[in-house]
């Protein structure tokens, strides 16, 4: 039973670290490639405000997904570490 829980905990740790690295890489790439492309629209204030709100909502959705993935990765990593701490140490059979 200990081997199975140890395998699951190591799997959770690896999965959590991979998820955190993917989120970091995605966030960094988004930061490096982002350019604000709001063209000066011809029209009234409502049109300009509508375009600005659309850009802000798009950014907020991206940030929300990165935040959710970051939280999930940290929870998975934490659960893996907690499970590994609770595993009894393996007995050495060579002595």
Task: Report pLDDT for 93.
Answer: 52
Task: Report pLDDT for 65.
Answer: 92
Q: What angle do CA 87, 4, 70 make, to 5 degrees?
A: 75
Task: Report pLDDT for 95.
Answer: 47
| Greater model confidence, 92 or 44 | 44
- pLDDT tens across 68-84, in order? 999 999 999 999 999 88
C-alpha closest to that of 75 among 83, 65, 87: 83
């Amino acid at each position: 039973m200990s081997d199975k829980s140890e395998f699951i905990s190591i799997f959770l740790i690896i999965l959590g670290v991979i998820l955190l690295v993917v989120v970091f890489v995605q966030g960094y790439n988004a930061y490096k490639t982002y350019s604000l492309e709001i063209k000066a629209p011809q029209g009234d204030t409502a049109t300009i405000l509508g375009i600005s709100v659309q850009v802000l909502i798009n950014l907020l959705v991206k940030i929300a997904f990165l935040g959710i993935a970051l939280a999930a990765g940290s929870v998975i990593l934490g659960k893996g570490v907690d499970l590994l701490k609770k595993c009894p140490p393996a007995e050495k059979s060579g002595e």
